[in-house]
Amino acid sequence: MNLSDDIVIVGGGPVGATLALALQMQGIGVTMLEARTQGAAHDDQRALALSYGSRMILDRLGLWGELEAKATPINTIHISQRGSLGRTRLKAEEHGQPSLGYVLAYGDLSRALDMALANYPKANILYSAEALSIQPQTHHAAVIFNLDGTEQGINSRLAVLADGGKSLAEIPGLKRETKRYGHDALVSKVKCELPHQNIAYERFTPAGPVALLPNGPRDFSLVWTGKEEEIQPLLALGDSDFLSELHRHFGDRVGEFLSVGKRLTFPLKLSYLSPVTAPHLVVIGNAAQTMHPVAGQGFNVGLRDAWELAGQIASAKPSEIGGVAMMDKYQQGRVTDTKRGMFFTDFLVNTFSNEILGLNKARGIGIGLLDVLHPVKQHIVNKMSFGSRG
């Protein structure tokens, strides 16, 4: 295999495609391998919770003008605990931002990125290309992939793994640590009696947090977490019984729940690589770290991975790309952001998802106290919006 001048990106989801677009805008060659067929993700209605910092990245990529009309702003975050009167409200207007975040369909973001990349004829996007192995070597990374039933290979000065579903067991030097919470998340879309008024709700219960994110004119995206044995039976309930159970669990803040869409579940875990680099290889996004969905940090950390990596590639000399110095610089530049994101979500889960005697009252007091501590609220908003740079 000859050595390619392109950066090879394995995974064409939003994180991989963001990196590809950022590099193309800098005139840097890209070969992106996407296992799905072209356009396969464009109808995916899964909700992405974008931070204000992620909106700024998409704006710099020239995408936000198109996406803004499809995104639902989060202007207020209402935080409460079941069984206590304490509550905190974070309001965008109090923190100098037009919104605290946005809810956007995965498919809408994928389509916008794919269409933008199509304007760069030198972007080599290979669909239905499944990566089989990625091997870091002394002077390059060797990527073997299957394209239309034929095994092919490409050597690159830098390979980037941005496919969260790709197994990493065969890559030497990268160790994965995983903490399984024993909880599942149920996700769906629900319509409520009361308008959402661009308020997102984070409701903590002893079983696990429940989040309602405004999504569309009247609907919410639902993320309901709890023990597997409690969440899985919810899939078998009829719509009416499910909505009644959700109302019992969540409370009256949005009135009655009127309808529910397709329900899906997935297990919750904290998983991360250490390190996230090897010679001429870097891992970003969910492939590098997977977090509990509480506080909506995971995707935004991954988008910052892509943006920061693009900047480092653009500023490096061609001979430095993929080298030890560059890999160390990327690793050190991202470790604080990723660790803080993982610690924050893990702390929230461990603190609020239990029934230790006396802790429930203390948590309620803490949530209520937070509402009057503006400097602390400002710190939280900055970290949620911009990560470690906030």
pTM score: 0.93
User: How confident is the model over 158-187, as pLDDT tens digits?
Assistant: 999 998 766 555 688 888 899 998 999 999
Question: What DSSP character marks residue 19?
Answer: H
DSSP track, 318-372: GGGTTSHHHHHHHHHHHHHHHHHHHHHHHHHHHHHS---TTHHHHHHHHHHHHTT
What's the whole-number average pLDDT of the chain?
90
Q: Is residue 334 part of a domain?
A: yes
Q: Please tell me the least confidently modeled range out of 65-79, 217-231, 341-355.
A: 341-355
Backbone region of residue 387 per phi and psi (left: phi > 0; alpha: psi in -120 to 50; beta: other values)? left
Does 304 reside within a domain?
yes
> Does some domain include residue 22?
yes
- Element spanning 303, H or E: helix 298-315
Q: Is residue 219 part of a domain?
A: no
ω into 121 cis (within 30 of 0)? no
Query: What's the confidence (pLDDT) of residue 372?
Result: 67
**Predicted local confidence at residue 354, as pLDDT:** 61
Write down the pLDDT at residue 272: 92
Structure tokens at 135: 């091997």
Q: How is the beta sheet containing 72-74 ordered, strand by strand?
A: 47-51, 101-105, 72-74
Q: Which carries the bigger pLDDT value, residue 292 or residue 321?
A: 321
CA R_g for the chain: 21
- Contact between 306 and 160 under an 8 Å Cβ cutoff? The reply is no
| First-to-last C-alpha distance (Å) of the chain | 44
Mean pLDDT of 89-116: 96
CATH number at residue 348: 3.50.50.60
Which amino acid makes up residue 201? Answer: Y
CA distance 18 to 20: 5
* Position 364 in a domain: no
User: Where does the pLDDT of residue 381 fall: very low under 50, low under 70, confident under 90, or very high at 90 and above?
Assistant: confident
Q: Check whether 230 has a pLDDT greater than 70.
A: yes
Q: What percent of the chain shows pLDDT beyond 90?
A: 73
Residue 151 has pLDDT above 80, yes or no: yes
Contact 287, 162 (CB under 8 A): yes
Is residue 372 assigned to a domain? no
Share of the chain above pLDDT 70, in %: 92
Q: Is-contact 24 122, C-beta < 8 A?
A: yes
Q: Is residue 151 part of a domain?
A: yes
pLDDT over 70 at 118, yes or no:
yes
Q: Which among 18-22, 145-149, 371-375 has the top mean pLDDT? A: 18-22
pLDDT of residue 364: 62
Handedness of CA 155, 159, 162, 166 (dihedral sign): positive
The CB density around residue 92, as the number of other CB atoms within 10 Å, is: 20
pLDDT classification of 254: cutoffs 50, 70, 90:
very high
**Pairing label, strands 141-147, 150-156:** antiparallel
Q: Is 337 exposed, middle or buried (0-12, 13-18, 19+ CB in 10 A)?
A: buried
pLDDT for residue 388 is more than 70? no
Extended strands (E) in 1-94: 3-4, 7-10, 30-34, 47-51, 72-74, 76-81, 87-91
pLDDT for the residue 349: 78
Contact 351, 363 (CB under 8 A): yes
Return the pLDDT at 246. 96
Domain for residue 310, yes or no? yes
Residues 6+ apart with CB under 8 A from 140: 3, 155, 156, 157, 280, 322
Q: What is the pLDDT of residue 35?
A: 94
What would the mean pLDDT of 124-131 be, rounded to a whole number? 95
> Per this entry, what is the length of the chain?
390
For 325, residues 6+ apart whose C-beta sits below 8 A from its C-beta are: none
Does the pLDDT value for residue 264 go beyond 70?
yes
pLDDT of residue 166: 62
Q: Looking at residue 361, what is its pLDDT?
A: 61
Question: Domain containing 284: what range?
Answer: 3-42+107-177+271-352
Predicted confidence at residue 82, as pLDDT, reads: 77
Is residue 375 scored above 90 in pLDDT?
Answer: no
298: left (phi over 0), alpha (psi -120 to 50) or beta: alpha
For the segment 80-96, the average pLDDT, to the nearest whole number, is: 85
Task: Calculate mean pLDDT across residues 115-138.
Answer: 93
* Mean pLDDT value of segment 312-327: 95
Mean pLDDT of 41-68: 96
Is the pLDDT reported for residue 79 higher than 80? yes
Number of domains in the chain: 1
pLDDT at residue 276 above 80? yes
Structure tokens at 89: 């409200």
